Amino acid sequence: MNIYIKSTIALSIFTVIAVNSKELSDNEYNEYRGFNPDIADEHPVEFFRRYALLLQMYDEKVIELYSDSAQILGYTKHAHGLKKFAELTGKEWKKSASAAIWMSRNTGDKITYSNANFIKVDNGFRITADRYSVKLCYTDSSFYQIVKFNKEGKLKIIKEYFEVLAESKC
């Protein structure tokens, strides 16, 4: 996979974010974490907010939220019809993330998330949201993350999917 595709994936993920989520009630969350209440102490809404805040601050601690075995999937659409699909592992992603954070900060990338939803899956959650790029004037309604609890009871991103446009619609 060439560096352009990796950079596109990196820039698409590391951007300024605002989150407007539909809240999970405490009762709903307690039911969700019932499979292992002793270690499952992270709330998915707070996890996603922390993710968003770290990105908003261009803080490299966001890298720690990804599992080494994560699957990062990016789909790029070009105006002339060409479509590119790229996949990185969490380990590969972590290697390029610092540069992506720096580029996002210096290019003024801004992404907002709205309409976040949290759905229980296995021992974790599927987080979906509308992902809007201010720079590209584009809403990606297909964005999602799968987060699961690790053995320490912390949520980690194990899968992430997003779509981007190569050219601005502005």
Residue pLDDT, tens place only, 52-82: 888 878 889 999 999 999 999 999 988 888 8
Residue pLDDT, tens place only, 76-107: 988 888 889 999 999 999 998 889 888 888 88
**What pLDDT band is residue 134 in, cutting at 50, 70 and 90?**
confident
Task: Please answer whether residues 109 and 135 qualify as being in contact, where contact means their C-beta atoms are separated by less than 8 angstroms.
Answer: yes
Task: Give me the pLDDT at residue 41, please.
Answer: 58
Q: Which two tokens stand for residue 16?
A: 């300024």
Kindly write down the DSSP assignment for every residue of 45-61, as one continuous string: HHHHHHHHHHHHTT-GG
For 79, phi then psi, to 5°, come to -60, -35
**What pLDDT band is residue 152 in, cutting at 50, 70 and 90?**
confident
**Mean pLDDT, the chain, as a whole number?**
79
Q: Which two tokens stand for residue 6?
A: 């990796």
* Domain edges within the chain: 3-165
Kindly write down the DSSP assignment for every residue of 8-39, as one continuous string: HHHHHHSSB--EEEPPPPHHHHHHHGGGSTTT
Task: Give me the pLDDT at residue 1, please.
Answer: 53
Task: Please answer whether residues 133 and 43 qualify as being in contact, where contact means their C-beta atoms are separated by less than 8 angstroms.
Answer: no
Is pLDDT above 60 for 8? no
Task: Give me the pLDDT at residue 158, please.
Answer: 97
**CATH hierarchy code of domain 3-165:** 3.10.450.50
Does the pTM exceed 0.85? no
Q: Which residue matches tokens 């907010």?
A: 49
What whole-number distance in Å separates Cα of residue 19 and Cα of residue 28? Answer: 20
